[in-house]
Chain A
């Protein structure tokens, strides 16, 4: 009961904060007569999103669907294959010796600069953007998960070895559960990066998606849909981030997040 009240209060204070910020924004636009091609008013952003006369020309549903599809596809791929690759790396010394140096090299590259290459390889649109997002988001998951699988209490390992535990048992009962905080830290970083990757992919070349809409509207100095798209992108990013945080709480209620979330 107490927690419900606290949650409601926290929600209300956040909502109030939100309303105040929007109020200040609208007031600043009206008072200082800021031109719409520089910063639009919240009202015109709202109209761009919801007004039955204006909103349909932006085809919001198509663009949101495309961008969300790209983000979800790349994030799912990253999470699943990143985790599997980390298992390989920690399972076999050989895999580690071969794969880790390559991952370290790739991780230090400015991967987003590779975006134009993916256009040549995969053509315009969905597939190329998913690949760009995967490339950007993939390595933090692998590096974090591998660190997690490695950082196991040596004493614990000695104990189960003494009890004749098999390698598989060590992984299932000790290494994987103990790596979860690191896995989630990696997933959170990747969630943000997948959004960035998808949007930059759409900037570079695409004919659909919120990134395309931002760039397309910029060419016409039409700011309301740009701001509306930014809000939607942030909402999608935060939604994914919160979903991971929720999963983290559900899957390991005993633990607190391992490392800090650095963008």
Chain B
């Protein structure tokens, strides 16, 4: 029942949407029916701009690469910061500060520096999702019971052992919280990158169709983007349940 609830809510919302459009005769350029949006995905599209397979591939590749790079880099850097007190003291305030900035505003600069396309969009996604991973992992690595540390010290545990057996397992719930935020942010980053400048991807379809007021592909694009976001989030949650069945999610999901 618990797993059926969300799909059920989505289904009900779609039905309400479909009926409202038909009932109130809303013009298609303002709000198409969900059916006509989905139809757009499956009917053959003569216009090369609507080559859905190519655009889906581009966006998926950006999201997956950005997520992979961000999670590996974010977790590694957080471990480095936890390992060395000096580095942490010097850089943690900076990270917290950057994290509170609207990093997405930097996106146009990145276009100047690295041009259009895949690479730039991955960098944008990386920049906005990197800091939550570092900060969450860092919090997890730091939040360990003092008594446990004392015990391990008493037993002559090495620093490496403390990390492998205590700090890293203990930080897993926090890491997964960070990765969940990261999964949503990577999707946002990739799409915003495609909005600002790109010649392919779902963000490109959305913005391009907006210029021509052709609304069914906008909604089809949005549905796919949402689906990817939710799917990635779901995969991370699944991995969380498999890796740490004993723990409940830490912190809040934004």
Chain B residues, Cβ within 8 Å of A241: 100
Bound-complex Cα distance A109 to B96 (A): 25
- The residue that A218 contacts in the complex, of B109, B132, B215, B222, with Cβ under 8 A, is B109
Decide: A116 and B218 in contact? CB cutoff 8 A. yes
* A120 at interface, CB cutoff 8 A: yes
Chain B residues, Cβ within 8 Å of A200: 104, 192, 195
Chain A residues, Cβ within 8 Å of B139: 260
- The residue that B188 contacts in the complex, of A110, A143, A214, A262, with Cβ under 8 A, is A110
B66 to nearest A CB, angstroms? 13
- The residue that A259 contacts in the complex, of B181, B188, B225, B251, with Cβ under 8 A, is B251
* B207 at interface, CB cutoff 8 A: yes
Chain B residues, Cβ within 8 Å of A259: 251-252
Chain B residues, Cβ within 8 Å of A218: 108-109, 111-112
Mark the stretch among A81-89, A157-165, A170-178, A232-240 that contacts chain B: A232-240
Decide: A262 and B111 in contact? CB cutoff 8 A. no
Bound-complex Cα distance A199 to B128 (A): 14
Bound-complex Cα distance A259 to B221 (A): 35
Please give me the residue from chain B that is nearest to A241 by CB atom: B100
User: Interface size on A (CB < 8 Å)?
Assistant: 51
* B187 at interface, CB cutoff 8 A: yes
* B203 at interface, CB cutoff 8 A: yes
A206 to nearest B CB, angstroms? 13
User: Could you say which of B100, B112, B196, B209 has the most chain A C-beta atoms within 10 Å of its C-beta?
Assistant: B100
Bound-complex Cα distance A263 to B130 (A): 10
- The residue that A101 contacts in the complex, of B9, B184, B210, with Cβ under 8 A, is B9
Decide: A110 and B109 in contact? CB cutoff 8 A. no
* A121 at interface, CB cutoff 8 A: yes
Chain A residues, Cβ within 8 Å of B103: 263
Tell me the total A-B contact number using a CB cutoff of 8 A.
137
Chain A residues, Cβ within 8 Å of B132: 262-263
B60 to nearest A CB, angstroms? 14
A34 to nearest B CB, angstroms? 11
Decide: A120 and B229 in contact? CB cutoff 8 A. no
Bound-complex Cα distance A202 to B152 (A): 54
B178 to nearest A CB, angstroms? 8
Bound-complex Cα distance A227 to B112 (A): 12
* B105 at interface, CB cutoff 8 A: yes
Bound-complex Cα distance A203 to B194 (A): 12
Please give me the residue from chain B that is nearest to A191 by CB atom: B100
Digitize B139-151: 1 where CB-to-A-CB distance is under 8 Å, 0 elsewhere: 1000000000000
Known: A38-B113, A237-B100. 14 other contacts (CB 8 A): A104-B9, A108-B233, A109-B226, A114-B222, A116-B210, A116-B218, A192-B100, A196-B105, A203-B195, A211-B105, A237-B102, A238-B100, A238-B101, A263-B103
Some 14 contacts from A to B, beta carbons below 8 A apart, are A101-B9, A104-B6, A104-B9, A105-B9, A110-B188, A110-B226, A113-B191, A116-B209, A196-B105, A203-B108, A203-B195, A261-B100, A263-B128, A263-B131
Residues of A within 8 A of B (CB): 37-38, 101-102, 104-105, 108-110, 112-117, 119-121, 140, 143-144, 147, 189, 192, 195-196, 199-200, 203-204, 210-211, 214-215, 218, 221, 223, 226-227, 229-230, 233-234, 237-238, 241, 259-263
